[in-house]
């Protein structure tokens, strides 16, 4: 007579906790999926620099070329790549006229290809959005809104 209520309570507890585990598992997957996209602009201060990280897909059936990048958030925006200089130090250089092969994507990510935002025209903080205006030789002008976020 005393054993049964205890068993029942335990069964309820077990089913509750397994349901909870599922609920937690789903947003976790979402978060890692969002992380894979890695679309962000790093926070920065007016007059300083920042970097934009995102994916730029060429959906056309022919190669396209990035002609220029502009944003109201910065006096100048340029595609840069990281490389190792003769002294073995990490450095970066401007990569003009980036070509995107047909159906492929350029991936701008920390430590690699990135869009450098120079001389920020305003403070960039979490919750803001930076709109990049990208001029492509084939597709024309595209606007890419990118959230300001801290990358971990």
Which residues would be at the binding site for Cu ion (CB under 5 A)?
80, 92, 116
CA 143 – CA 56 distance, rounded (Å)? 11
CB of 114 to Cu ion, least distance (A): 6
Q: Among residues 58, 70, 44, 23, which one has the least CA distance to residue 150?
A: 44
Cβ atoms of residues 47 and 123 within 8 Å:
no
H helices present in 2-146, as ranges = 3-37
CA dihedral 119, 105, 84, 95 (to 10 degrees): -50
CB of 123 to Cu ion, least distance (A): 19
Q: Closest CB to Cu ion among 5 and 111?
A: 111
Nearest residue (CB) to Cu ion, 79 versus 136:
79
CB of 92 to Cu ion, least distance (A): 4
Give min distance, CB of 140 to Cu ion, in A.
26
Tell the smallest beta-carbon distance from residue 89 to Cu ion (Å). 14
- 61, 70 contact by CB (below 8 A): no
Pick 101 or 110: Cβ nearer Cu ion: 110
Question: Between residues 92 and 137, which has the closer beta carbon with respect to Cu ion?
Answer: 92
The whole-angstrom separation of Cα 121 and Cα 101 is 33
Which is nearer to Cu ion, 50 or 58 (by Cβ)?
A: 50
DSSP 8-state assignment for residue 50: E
The Cα 40–Cα 112 span in angstroms is 14
């Amino acid at each position: 007579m005393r054993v049964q209520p205890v068993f029942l309570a335990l069964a309820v507890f077990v089913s509750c906790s397994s349901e909870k585990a599922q609920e937690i598992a789903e947003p976790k997957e979402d978060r890692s999926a969002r992380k894979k996209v890695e679309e962000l602009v790093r926070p920065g201060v007016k007059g300083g620099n920042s970097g934009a990280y995102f994916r730029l897909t060429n959906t056309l059936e022919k190669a396209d070329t990035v002609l220029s990048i502009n944003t109201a958030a910065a006096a100048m925006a340029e595609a840069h790549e990281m490389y190792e200089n003769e002294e073995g130090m990490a450095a970066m250089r401007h990569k003009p006229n980036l070509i995107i092969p047909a159906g492929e994507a350029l991936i701008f990510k920390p430590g690699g290809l990135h869009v450098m935002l120079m001389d920020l025209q305003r403070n960039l903080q979490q919750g803001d959005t930076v709109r990049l205006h990208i001029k492509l030789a084939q597709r024309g002008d595209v606007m890419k809104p990118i959230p300001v976020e801290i990358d971990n």
